[in-house]
Amino acid sequence: MTRETWKTRAGFILAAVGSAVGLGNVWRFPWMTAQNGGSAFLLLYLAIVLLVGVPGLLGAFVIGRRSKRNPVGALRSLSDGSRWWAAFGMFAVVTTLLLVSFYSVVGGWFVRYTAASVTGSYFGHAGAYFSAINYGPAALAFAFVFLAATAAIVYAGVEKGIERATKVMMPAIVVLLAALAAWTFTRDGAGAGLDFYLTPDVAYLRAHFFDILPAAVGQALFTLSLGTGTMITYASYLGDERSLAADAATIAVLNTAIGVLAGLLVFPLLFSFGLDVGSGGAGAVFVSVASAFASLGTVGRLLGVVFFAVVLLAALSSSISMLEIPVAYLVDEHGVSRAKATAGVACLVAIGAAACALSSSVFGLLANTLVNLLMTAGLCGFLLFVGWVLGSRALDEYRAGAGDVARAVDGPWLLFVGVLIPVFLLFTLFTSVASALGVPLGTHVLGVGLGGSAVALVAAIVVTALAVAGLRRPGSLV
């Protein structure tokens, strides 16, 4: 059987952007930004998208297109059968299962808000409404609706299901966010929101750097769908004539623009309606736009339906890209039929979704701390693989279809993904574990962290090299 490929360049870009653009931009980004100091977070986040996200995305594309497989099969075949790397691919598959679990709950909130906009039930008491509906049996029912829709699209197959949905959603979401943000700017108090969001707060950044860092890294990776194998799997359907670098840059720019746009809507709204920025927590986007729609009366209801429905579409094009990973794994590696694989995976996710919908602490642990940790660890492993197992083969893949500019930076790119970014990610992991355990990050602790990261990096390199040494000469770095 020949493997499906994307029909057009736009088809792949749209689907990859569809995966990237989702609740991460519209729901999680405002939450994380509000919780981590506004503009200080934005600054760090943008830097990470540029320096880690774009090269990292390229790394994932290289693995995917080279192997034409799901993450487990990709790492196994490219390392000539290493069980360790296959196990690491499994880690990514499990990560996606956890992600879709809480993602379905948030998707369920959007389903509920779409319906509630028709009658305007949340008008007038935005905060109380969100707290009343966010967890519990009803939240679970809505999460199941979202999960069922996701499974139905995944079952329909890569091209039919995914390409179509994304083509409608992308332009609609940009127009809606931009129009609503423009309306928001005319309101009293909007300026303070913009100030919180955009005026660089270097003092805050300096004082809280190590608290913000894991969140900023986690958010950058989450929003770009990096570290879970999603982008590996999507790129596995890609033809050889495409410039991976150009695609990575396009996707990162579009995705980041939409997140930044969502912030331009949420923060002026929160301030102009006198809502406390921090208090919304995971409900920041709901509480803010609910207040806006309420103040617009009947027009607000209509806008509410359109807004929540469009975000829902964006959320679906992301959730299908998560569910696709375990499904592709079962289909490719175990010969399970697509229908059976989809049904089985959906049942597993339903259990996770139930835990998240019924317990705010399970939800918080997964959606916040665990996302940051798992995605950081995931990308770190994938990039070590690119640098140290693929080596020169990664460069060949990178060069195929690349333009002059991309070719000019191929060596530095490999050095980035093979060495600098993994060191940075290991360091980030260290700081997050330290702060999760309540260890204060004084200078000597940081020194130990840096030293530890270096040792861990060397160990990872040695293990990787040993894993492939017996089978074949490991790829060289540059």
Is residue 368 within the footprint of ligand PHE (CB under 6 A)? no
* Nearest distance, CB of residue 292 and ligand PHE, angstroms: 22
Kindly report the length of the chain. 478
Cα gap 244→248, rounded to integer Å: 6
Q: Which is nearer to ligand PHE, 326 or 475 (CB)?
A: 326
Q: Residue with CB nearest ligand PHE? A: 24
Helix (H/G/I), strand (E/B), else coil: 228? coil
Residues 408-467 that bind ligand PHE (CB under 6 A): none
Q: Which is nearer to ligand PHE, 143 or 467 (CB)?
A: 143
Is residue 263 within the footprint of ligand PHE (CB under 6 A)? no
Radius of gyration over alpha carbons of the chain, in Å? Answer: 22
Cα gap 50→3, rounded to integer Å: 32
Cα gap 136→442, rounded to integer Å: 41
Q: Which stretch binds ligand PHE (CB under 6 A): 181-189, 225-233, 337-345, 465-473?
A: 225-233
Give 399-405 contacts, CB < 8 A, sequence gap 24+.
400/65, 400/240, 400/241, 400/244, 401/240, 401/241, 401/242, 401/243, 401/244, 402/243, 402/244, 402/245, 402/246, 403/243, 403/245, 403/246, 405/245
Residues 80-139 that bind ligand PHE (CB under 6 A): 99
Q: Which is nearer to ligand PHE, 17 or 354 (CB)?
A: 17
Q: Which is nearer to ligand PHE, 322 or 457 (CB)?
A: 322
What is the x/- site pattern for ligand PHE, positions 193-222, by CB under 6 A? Answer: -----------------------------x
Among 14, 16, 17, 20, binds ligand PHE (CB under 6 A): 20
H helix and E strand count, the chain: 24, 0
Is residue 378 within the footprint of ligand PHE (CB under 6 A)? no
Is residue 35 within the footprint of ligand PHE (CB under 6 A)? no
Among 219, 225, 288, 428, binds ligand PHE (CB under 6 A): 225
Q: Give the DSSP H/E element, type plus range, for residue 439.
A: none
Q: Which is nearer to ligand PHE, 12 or 222 (CB)?
A: 222
Neighbours of 50 (CB within 10 A): 15
Cα gap 453→471, rounded to integer Å: 28
Among 101, 117, 219, 228, binds ligand PHE (CB under 6 A): 228
Residue type, 130: F
Q: Which stretch binds ligand PHE (CB under 6 A): 53-61, 147-155, 224-232, 300-308?
A: 224-232
Q: Which is nearer to ligand PHE, 201 or 324 (CB)?
A: 324
The DSSP output letter for 28 is: I
Is residue 376 within the footprint of ligand PHE (CB under 6 A)? no
Q: Tell me if 60 sits within 8 A of 20, measured CB to CB.
A: no
What is the x/- site pattern for ligand PHE, positions 313-332, by CB under 6 A? Answer: -----x--xx----------
| CA 470 centroid distance within chain | 36
Write out the residues near ligand PHE by the rule CB under 6 A.
Answer: 19-20, 22-25, 99, 222-223, 225, 228, 230, 318, 321-322
